[in-house]
Structure 1
């Protein structure tokens, strides 16, 4: 639900009110953490497989088998762990929320808290079909659900984030 909208001179300035669903928050956190851990997901299993095979070839079968099992189990345990972490956050995040977007940053206000984030904090913004994911260094630090915004606001935010990325400023 839109609270107010203003776009003067290409400046972002509007507020929306919405309530995230538990499934939505879980999906956003999983997507953010998966992107954050992308290198680990790509590198660790092959390293464990190669190391396991080397251990088996040099006669340390139990360690080698353990590494091969770890290569298979790691993605499953990491996904489970991410889901568990997301569930712990649901009570704090699944409440009526007002988001105020400006050219400087955004404010997230609930009955229990107010958080203000400046765009300059984020080194990277990734746009997905469902969310904008915000990263500080390589860590996912926040998200905004696209469904909270009407199509005009989504287009404005897409353009705003793209311009900041292209300018090397996030």
Structure 2
């Protein structure tokens, strides 16, 4: 396999890719946060402090929403450098992303997992999102070739993205 394409990701695509990559970790963090706030609210109601209990219940709902909003805002600011014309080359050994400012080369053996979503291939190192390849950059035949290659490697999961 040796596929080369030119592509310019949008800010929204970059944010969606990293949000999808972080989704599992964020879900766990938010679940713990909500559980702690609900337990705290219960204690406040039992100790006859309903105002604090109500505040904790409200925070248990608004906290994850505010966290997602903040993450997306920060990602747009921090990751805009990725939104430039990019040449992506995918080979049997790995992939290269080249821009006027940088070159990134990663070998497939480096990735612990690849999650295939309808929009991206999300690449993970030690359960941490490390990179993504946008499906929109590749035509249908190239997508099928990449999917087949990754499936043969046995490291591909299916995401809910």
Smaller-chain TM-score bracket: 0.7 to 0.9
| 8 Å contact from structure 1 (residues 55, 64) kept in 2 | yes
Q: Aligned residue for 2:116? A: 127
Structure 1: runs of 5+ lacking an equivalent: 1-11
Contact 1:36 1:138 in 2 (8 A): no
Question: Aligned partners of 1:100, 1:53: CA distance in 2, in Å?
Answer: 55
TM-score, reference length from structure 1: 0.80
RMSD: 2.1
| Deviation of the 1:100 alpha carbon | 1.1
Match of 2:159 in 1: none
2:155 and 2:131 map into 1 onto residues whose CA distance is: 21
Describe the superposition over 1:31-61 as per-residue Cα deviations: whole angstroms up to 9, x where unpaired. 2222332222334323321332133213454
**Distance across 1 between alignment mates of 2:93 and 2:68:** 34
Runs of at least 5 residues in structure 2 that lack an aligned partner in the other structure: 157-161
Asked if 1:153 is matched to 2:139, the reply is no
Give the whole-Å Cα distance in 2 for the aligned partners of 1:74 and 1:94: 29
SS in 2 for 1:111: coil
1:163 aligned onto 2:152? yes
